[in-house]
Amino acid sequence: MTETSAGPRKLGNWIGGSWKEAAVGTGQAEVRNPATGEVLAVVPMSGRAEVEDAAAAALLAFRDWRKVPVPARARLLFRYRELLHGCRMELAAILTAENGKCLEEALGEVQRGIECVEFAAGAPTLMMGSQLPDIAGGIESGMYRYPLGVVAGITPFNFPMMVPCWMFPLAVACGNAFLLKPSEKTPLLSCRLAELFAEAGFPPGVLNVVNGSKEAVDALLEHPAIAAVSFVGSQPAAAAVHARAAAAGKRIQALAGAKNHSIVLADADLKAAASQIAAAAFGSAGQRCMACSVVAVQESAAEAFMPLLQDAAEALIVGDGARPGTPIGPLIDCGSRDRALKLLELAIRDGAALLMDGRRGEWNSDEAAFLGPTIVVEVTPDMAIWQEELFAPILCVLTVPDLKAGIALANRSRYANGACLFTDSAAAVREFREEMDAGMLGVNLGVPAPMAFFPFSGAKSSFYGDLHANGRDGVEFYTRKKMVTARY
């Protein structure tokens, strides 16, 4: 990363353990602070040449890295963990500046990322195989795990720390070399993660960062040295990347968009439910893949619940997330805000009504895209606002007669990332667990957050592939197995 006295930082690509400028003539884009419009950096739109360089560096590094004893790899991860922990305030500040989420959320995200490194540091246990001493008389059989080779990761703007950390720490713990292509909207944190990775003592080329967008992704998907791809992003991009990677014979996991429902039953603690749902719907300006975007309230509870929800939403302050006590930052850019507002306006035209309108003029400008908490009622499932992921602080409310109807409504969505139930009934919790399509379920909480040690289990159009990110699924994804059957 180079710094110029005359303007914003000019990012390069982290290849083979140092910063390299992209080829002359490569396009570039600005990285802006979404709260202020300040240009933080200029990022190259790398293409085939840069991906070629990074893949070659990764392939070279892999030859030795795969032979480094697993406990030695784990010790480097312990060192990396300490460095990340020591730099957590710096990392959170970068995150808030490039993504817009408030500092408290950013710190929470940094912690989630660190937990992934902690999980990966368990590599000696995670990489173990298994044996059966007698599969036949005097014959034994054993399973051994090996890395795949060079693995690529493509990540979204909304979790610049956590999502890359779902990928590269575990992949390198398993003995792979990694090529990360972060979001072009939030590349700064990945760049810092790469520098700290080198500082921890990992050999050059084990982690490489190529900045860019679709062109770089296309080059990754076509590169014969890349054995597997982890993708996290929007549904159309996930579906396309999955299809292309699979057609090229690569292992692929593609985590996609969401339309998460919360069901509130009359026997729930309604005040707690309202506060949890407001935080889940409007926190990070609704730009979480686990955001609550629809709440289905049991009819008999609606009259009591709606004022509580409105109160909880009204208490949330909107502004620059770098200012303490400002939980709702801006959307990532004006295009995202305008797309969400278009769907909102369509819904109003078709009969939906606003209980709370976050379109406050004074927050918005051509440079920054704020939207306050917005609650839409009279929503029906034939409206695009119910069907599409908005990725904005807009919450749709519907009423349902009972749990069965709430589950049926949520299961009509083509997405199945997460769903939450608010209730005091164990039987209702069981029915919810058994019948919901979504893979990440929450009970009496707003965000069933993904944890490093369990798989992030989205389904339907929220996930393309077989093995999920994180946990044992992650280990399976980043390793191949050999079976040895022996008679001595």
SS3 7: coil
Report in angstroms how near the CB of residue 90 gets to ligand NAD at its nearest.
23
Q: Which is nearer to ligand NAD, 107 or 237 (CB)?
A: 237
- Choose which of 13, 213, 230, 253 interacts with ligand NAD (CB under 6 A): 213
What distance lies between CA 141 and its chain's CA centroid? 39
DSSP 302-328: HHHHHHHHHHHHHT--BS-TTSTT--B
Told to check if 120 binds ligand NAD by CB under 6 A, we report: no
Question: Distance between CA 377 and CA 306 in Å, rounded?
Answer: 10
Does residue number 258 form part of the binding site for ligand NAD (CB under 6 A)?
yes
Q: DSSP letters along 155-177, please?
A: --SS-TTHHHHHHHHHHHHTT-E
Residue 31 exposed, middle or buried by CB count within 10 Å (0-12, 13-18, 19+): buried
Residues 381-410 that bind ligand NAD (CB under 6 A): 389, 391
Is 376 buried (19+), middle (13-18) or exposed (0-12) by CB count in 10 A? buried
Q: Is 183 in the site for ligand NAD (CB under 6 A)?
A: yes
Helix%, strand%, coil% for the chain, nearest 5: 40, 25, 35
Residues in the interface with ligand NAD (CB under 6 A) total 30
Residue with smaller CB distance to ligand NAD, 65 or 391: 391
Place of tokens 């001493």: 133
Strand 28-32 to 150-154 pairing = unpaired
Span from 22-30, 50-58, 129-137, 210-218 in contact with ligand NAD (CB under 6 A): 210-218
Please choose, from the candidates 156, 174, 180, 213, the residue with its C-alpha nearest in 3D space to the C-alpha of residue 58. 180
Applying the rule CB under 6 A, the residues between 407 and 426 that interact with ligand NAD are 417
Based on CB atoms, which residue is closest to ligand NAD, 147 or 182?
182
Number of neighbours of residue 334 by Cβ within 10 angstroms: 17
168 interacts with ligand NAD by CB under 6 A: no
User: Catalytic residue among 289, 292, 396, 420, which?
Assistant: 289
Q: Which residue's C-beta sits nearest to ligand NAD?
A: 233
Does residue 327 belong to the site contacting ligand NAD (CB under 6 A)? no
Query: Considering beta carbons, is residue 241 or 371 the nearer one to ligand NAD?
Result: 241
CB of residue 366 vs ligand NAD: minimum separation in angstroms?
20
Q: Which of 232, 263, 274, 306 binds ligand NAD (CB under 6 A)?
A: 232
Work out whether 170 is an interface residue with ligand NAD (CB under 6 A): no
* Smallest gap from residue 63 Cβ to ligand NAD (A): 28
User: Among 134-142, 150-158, 197-205, 323-331, which window interacts with ligand NAD (CB under 6 A)?
Assistant: 150-158
d(CA 129, CA 61): 24
Contact residue for ligand NAD among 184, 392, 428, 442 (CB under 6 A): 184
* Secondary structure (DSSP) of 402-424: SHHHHHHHHHTSSEESEEEEE-S
DSSP 3-state assignment of 181?
strand
- Whether 289 is catalytic is yes
Smaller CB separation from ligand NAD, 268 or 395: 395
Positions that interact with ligand NAD (CB under 6 A): 154-159, 163, 181, 183-184, 213-214, 217, 232-234, 237, 240-241, 255-258, 289, 389, 391, 417, 456, 458, 462
Known catalytic residues are: 289
